[in-house]
């Protein structure tokens, strides 16, 4: 399957519907994926194992700034999407501008919604939609406790302190 990046839901919706008609189990996860690291790759590889097609909802630059502040993202949305779409496990990347992926989850209605195990199921955005439509919620334990914030702090500590 080719890799696709979408910023237009109307264009993407037809593809999702066709995949569902063909019996494919759609897995959805989301995030900023600002500075891609081993923890992200491990997480995405594990998410893909829950179904046939992995869709990554990617916070747009506007969304990242709203959540993380004016100095983020470090890597712009075009580059983040390009990197994600070139991972073997990722089938589609779709941008969203809101603070949460609720609207895109409501449109896709994936068979499986995946988040990190640091989220309780009742706090996972879109879990109500997925469960109401017969889907599953899966959480993944982090084995690599790396984070973009930790990487930024490490760089600043190494190169900006005295």
Identify the CATH number of the domain in which residue 38 sits.
3.40.50.620
Q: Please report the pLDDT score of residue 10 as a whole number.
A: 79
Residue 148 is predicted with a pLDDT of 65
Q: Determine the structural domain holding residue 124 and report its residue range.
A: 4-160
Who's near 29: CB < 8 A, 6+ residues apart?
43, 44, 47, 54, 55, 56, 57, 113, 114, 115
**pLDDT score, position 61:** 97
User: From CA 40, how far away is CA 31, in angstroms rounded?
Assistant: 10
pLDDT of residue 158: 78
Residue 155's pLDDT is what?
Answer: 74
Q: What is residue 2's predicted lDDT score, i.e. its pLDDT?
A: 46
Contact 39, 142 (CB under 8 A): yes
Question: What are the backbone angles phi and psi of residue 29, rounded to the nearest 5°?
Answer: -140, 170
- Identify the segments of the chain with pLDDT beneath 50: 1-2
> Which SS3 state, helix, strand or coil, does residue 116 take?
strand
Tally the domains of the chain: 1
């Amino acid at each position: 399957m080719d890799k696709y990046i979408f910023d237009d839901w109307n264009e993407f919706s037809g593809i999702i519907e066709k995949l569902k008609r063909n019996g494919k189990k759609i897995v959805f996860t989301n995030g900023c994926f600002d500075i891609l690291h081993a923890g992200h790759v491990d997480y995405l590889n594990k998410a893909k194992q829950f179904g046939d097609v992995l869709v990554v909802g990617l916070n747009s630059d506007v969304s990242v700034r709203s959540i993380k502040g004016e100095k983020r993202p470090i890597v712009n949305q075009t580059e983040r999407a390009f990197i994600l779409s070139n991972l073997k496990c990722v089938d589609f990347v779709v941008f969203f501008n809101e603070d949460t992926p609720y609207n895109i989850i409501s449109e896709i209605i994936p068979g499986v919604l995946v988040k990190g195990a640091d989220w309780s199921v009742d706090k996972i955005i879109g879990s109500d939609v997925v469960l109401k439509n017969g889907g599953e919620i899966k959480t993944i334990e982090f084995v690599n406790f790396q984070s973009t914030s930790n990487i930024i702090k490490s760089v600043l500590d190494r190169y900006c302190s005295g």
